[in-house]
Structure 1
Amino acid sequence: MKIKKILNNNAALALDDKGNEIVYTGCGLCFQKKIGDEIDEGKIEKTFVMEKPNEQFKQLVSEMPYEQIQVADEIIKYAGDMLNKRLCNNIYITLTDHLGYAIERAKTGTVLRNKLLWEIKNFYKTEYSIGCHALDMIKEKLGVTLPDDEAGFFALHIVNAELDGNMHHTLETSEVISDIVSIVKYTFNTALDENTLSYERFITHLKYFLQRAEKREYYPADNVDMFNMMIKKFPEAYKCAIRIKSYMESKFPEEITDEEMLYLVVHISRITDRK
């Protein structure tokens, strides 16, 4: 593999047999190298294949300190292992870039407050725990201590990569989930036990519920008899689901189906069960 462009002393750009751009990184990978030289495969530590040219990523790799790129890569790998899923490749840009600016802020004593930290802690517990682990890695490997707010920001980048969406959508999703939980609390005039499995399932259901709303792909109404039975058995949960329906239809144009209402009633009845 021959070097097409030297990004810095630790990163090189090359082309594979299909013409895809590949960014190789490794400590001293391009030391005393020039364009057209063969890449020393023994020094390659990470390979990034880009089906479409991405100038932003190449610029990021060329400008950021190599050790920061290494740590960002370790955080992303840890996140993928913890979630047992492949994350959207865009996270290599967004999270790495965020890490660089977070370190710059820390060095100048600037703290960026995360206004959604409570929502992130409660609605994306796994991702937040990954964010906290990321702070430990950054402190250990880079000697920089970041505030808890940054754990929340890292968690949002991970959630965004899970959903393969954009950060605006991820932030909006967090706000909508918070509003729906507030509707449940208001309807039943009670606090919810956030440490129960039922609550965790409800939050997970809401995440995918919002994805379906965004795509206008609500579940079709297939369980009419079950739906009628559940609204009679759990009238308060159904009353709450009606309020959620009204709220959702003010946000998204598609009318919520009875099938979606059925699932809402089931989850609401579980998390508000006082027995």
Structure 2
Amino acid sequence: MKIAKILNNNVVVVQDERGREQVVMGRGLAFQKRVGEELDTALVEKVFALQSDELVRRLGELLSQIPLEVMTTCDRIIGLAAQRLGKLQDSLYITLTDHCYFAIERQKKGLAIKNVLLWDIKRLYPKEFELGQEARAIIAKRLNVELAEDEAGFIALHLVTAQLNSEMPE
């Protein structure tokens, strides 16, 4: 894997053997590296090979701003959701990670957002809401941040959207 762009010490954009861009993560992956150098694949913890170059670009931008621990936590949540719900849109990596990061930051500042659709979400999307509750538990365990139940509803809506067959821009 050859480095195409360094986003931070833990996140790098590379080109695969077919010339497609991928985003790779790992602790210290890009430390003292330069564009064009070969990447030490032993340090790679996660590879994101998305279908669209636009998604790769947006994911790269997002990963350059979000701590690795938050990204790996969201990856775990998405993996769990995919096991239970089936195929999910690749854009979930961007939308859910972005949402969770800002929810965590809001919680740290004591800012809560009320989910006025929570009652409806619980009843209309029970599987997704349960996954939202599990996501809250994973975030609490891995990141030591207790999110409100309202966030389980917001996470559930991201999962519902990710199950749709149509591509949604946001």
Instruction: Please report how far the alpha carbon of residue 19 of structure 1 lies from its aligned counterpart in structure 2 after TM superposition.
Output: 2.2
Sequence identity percentage:
44
Output the amino acid matched with 2:134.
H
Deviation of 1:31 (Å): 1.5
- Alpha-carbon distance, 1:108 to partner: 1.1
* 1:210-269 residue CA offsets vs partner (Å, 9 max, x unmatched): xxxxxxxxxxxxxxxxxxxxxxxxxxxxxxxxxxxxxxxxxxxxxxxxxxxxxxxxxxxx
Q: Give 3-state SS (helix, strand or coil) of 1:111's partner.
A: coil
User: What is the SS of the residue equivalent to 2:34?
Assistant: coil
CA deviation after TM superposition for structure 1 residue 32, in Å: 1.7
Which residue matches 1:104?
105
Is the contact made by 1:20 and 1:52 (CA closer than 8 Å) also made in structure 2? no
- What TM-score do you get using the length of structure 2 for normalisation? 0.93
Contact 1:130 1:155 in 2 (8 A): yes
**Residues 1-275 of structure 1: matches in 2 within 5 Å?**
1-54=1-54, 55-83=57-85, 85-165=86-166, 166=168
One-letter code aligned to 2:70: Q
Q: Which has the higher strand share?
A: 2
In 1, Cα distance between the equivalents of 2:147 and 2:165? 26
Any conservation in 2 of the 1:21–1:51 contact (CA below 8 Å)? Answer: no
Q: Structure 2: which 5+ runs fail to align?
A: none
Comparing both chains, which one has the higher relative contact order based on Cα–Cα distances under 8 Å and sequence gaps of 6 or more?
A: 2
Letter in 1 for 2:136: L
Give the SS at the match of 2:49. Answer: strand
Decide whether the 8 Å contact of 2:50 with 2:90 is kept in 1.
no
Q: Over residues 81-138 of structure 1, what are the superposed CA-to-partner deviations in whole Å (9 max), with x where a residue is unaligned?
A: 122x121000000000001110111011111111111111011101100000000000
Give, as a single letter, the amino acid of the residue that structure 1 aligns with 2:87: R
What residue ranges of structure 1 are gaps of 5+ in the alignment?
169-275
Query: How far apart, CA to CA, are the structure 1 residues paired with 2:65 and 2:76?
Result: 19
| Alignment RMSD (CA, Å) | 1.5
CA distance in 1, matches of 2:16, 2:169: 31
Q: Distance in 2 between matches of 1:78 and 1:101?
A: 21
Is the contact made by 2:24 and 2:47 (CA closer than 8 Å) also made in structure 1?
A: yes
Aligned partners of 2:13 and 2:22 also within 8 Å? yes
Relative to structure 1, is the Cα distance of residues 121 and 92 closer, same or farther in structure 2, using a 3 angstrom cutoff? same
Distance 2:48 2:58 in 1: 13
The structure whose Rg is larger is 1
1:167 CA drift (Å): 8.7
Higher helix share: 1
Distance (whole Å) between structure 2 residues aligned to residue 135 and residue 7 of structure 1:
28
Pairwise CA distance, 1:42: 1.2
Query: Residues 56 and 48 from structure 1, CA distance in 2 versus in 1: closer, same or farther, beyond 3 angstroms?
Result: same
Aligned residue pair count? 167
- The CA distance in 1 between the partners of 2:105 and 2:58, in whole Å, is 19
Normalising to structure 1: TM-score of the pair?
A: 0.58
